[in-house]
Amino acid sequence: MTNELTLEIVTPTRVLYEGKVDEVTAPGIEGEFGVLPGHTPFLTFLATGELSYKVEGKERFVAVDGGFIEVTPNRVIAIVDEAEYAEDIDLVEAEKMKEEAEQRLRELTEEDKEFLKEKAKLTRALNLIKVAKRIK
């Protein structure tokens, strides 16, 4: 068993983070889970939510939007559609996105082809707001 854990957070356009961490917590599609060094290997889909990790006792928060994660005893690789650190989230813009999605959803029915798109937009906005408020 190893005492080191490396985390990579990758989007289609950049590597958000790559380095040693003490632990990782991620939003799996079946619920939140934690990873420590020596974890049993697995692969799962990620839900829109908050991924956090600790380095030397300091916790960092990242809003992630879909993707998957691979866990091995000494490495965690999160390949996500979008990822943003809590401190980089524009809270005003996220609130605006939330309001627009809520307004649009009031105008649509579940049968409208835009309904699921707007619902996903609302979910993303709510997640951005939640993660941003962790530090603000």
Taking CA atoms, 65 is separated from 28, 68, 135, 136, in Å, by 11, 10, 19, 21
pLDDT at position 63: 98
Taking CA atoms, 88 is separated from 34, 42, 122, in Å, by 24, 30, 19
pLDDT at position 2: 60
Query: Angle 115-132/91-107 helices, nearest 10 degrees?
Result: 150
Predicted confidence band of residue 3 (pLDDT cuts 50, 70, 90): confident
Express each pLDDT in 61-102 by its tens digit.
999 998 999 999 999 999 999 999 999 999 999 999 999 999
pTM: 0.90
pLDDT at position 136: 62
What structural domains does the chain harbor? 5-86 (2.60.15.10), 89-132 (1.20.5)
